[in-house]
Structure 1
Amino acid sequence: MSDQNETLETLINDFISMVDSSTLILENKFGTRDIRRLWYTKAIKRRGRVTRGVKYELHGIGCRINLSTGTVDFDYGPNGEINGFDVWRLHNFACERPSKHRKYCNEETIEKEFDEYITLKKIKKISAISNLYVWADLKEAN
């Protein structure tokens, strides 16, 4: 994919897709995609192995999952949502996959396009108490 054809939408969707598939692995192992409560109650350690080749590390309100296909670091939303994103996470995700997302290895590029998506109401804050964004409901944007 050439840099000119790559869109922020593709990067965001790749990020969300990887979070979704990664947290499905957590759910299969622990019975839930949001494993923070298990950590808080000491039912699991802050970091560990889920399966061969899959490791997790919980931090604050988020989780970093290492798979053989790469790493994804995300924060859970206020109600345990897994579809939130921000510039920092998207930039890190892109930098781990430079052959696919080279254009977004430049943080200024992501910031500029992210701001455009906000202005165009393509994305919105997940809630007033979170720094995460989600895809805006198209009905609300019109």
Structure 2
Amino acid sequence: MSEQSETLEILINDFIAMVESSTLVFEKKFGTRDIRRLWRTKAIKRCGRVTRGVKYELHGIGCRINLSTGSVDFNYGPNGEINGFDVWRLYNFARERPSKYKKYCDKKIIEKELEEYINLKKIKKLSAISNLYVLADSKEID
């Protein structure tokens, strides 16, 4: 993919799609996509295996899911939303896929373009108490 065809929106959409498909595994196994309560009540361990090819590691308000096709690290929103993103999460997602997102392996480029998206109202804060952003036209996914 040439840098000309790389856009922040593609990176964001790919990140959200991977979180969406990854957390479906949780829903099938545990009956919920937000497994933090299960960890806090000791129903599951902080780190574990969901299926043969899927591992998870819970941290603070987020989770890292490792699949055979790659991994994704995300934070849950205040109401369990899974469609939020920030500079750090997008940067790490891109760095794990440098052949697809070469341009976004530079954190400063993500910071600059996210700022532009905020100014253009393409993205907005998930909530007043969250550091996560969502696409301005997105529906809540939880």
CA displacement at 1:14 relative to structure 2: 0.3
Structure 2 length as normaliser, TM-score?
A: 0.95
Paired position in structure 2 for 1:69 = 69
SS at match of 1:18: helix
Q: Per-residue CA shift, 1:66-99, capped at 9, x if unaligned?
A: 0000010000000000000000000000000001
2 CA distance for matches of 1:30 and 1:101?
A: 32
Number of aligned residue pairs: give it.
Answer: 138
Residue of structure 2 in register with 1:60 after alignment: 60
- How far is the alpha carbon of 1:5 from its aligned partner? 1.4
Q: What secondary structure is seen at the aligned counterpart in 1 of 2:63?
A: strand
Matched ranges for 1:1-40 at <5 A: 1-40=1-40
Name the Cα RMSD after superposition: 0.9
1:89-104 matches, within 5 Å, as 89-104=89-104
* Corresponding residue number in structure 2 for 1:44: 44
- 2:134 matched to which residue of 1? 134
Unmatched 5+ residue regions in structure 2?
A: none
Structure 2 letter corresponding to 1:25: V
Amino acid at match of 2:23: T
**Aligned-partner residue type, residue 36 of structure 2:** R
Q: Report the CA distance between 1:39 and its aligned residue.
A: 0.4
Query: After the TM superposition, which parts of structure 1 deviate over 3 Å for at least 4 consecutive aligned residues?
Result: none
Quote how far apart the aligned CAs of 1:137 are. 3.0
**Structure 2 counterpart SS, 1:100:** coil
Percent identity over paired residues: 81
Distance 1:137 1:66 in 2: 28
Whole-Å Cα distance in 2 between the matches of residues 7 and 111 of structure 1? Answer: 13
**1:53: Cα distance to partner?**
1.4
Cα distance in 2, alignment partners of residues 132 and 52 from structure 1: 31
- TM-score w.r.t. structure 1 length? 0.95
Amino acid at match of 1:105: C
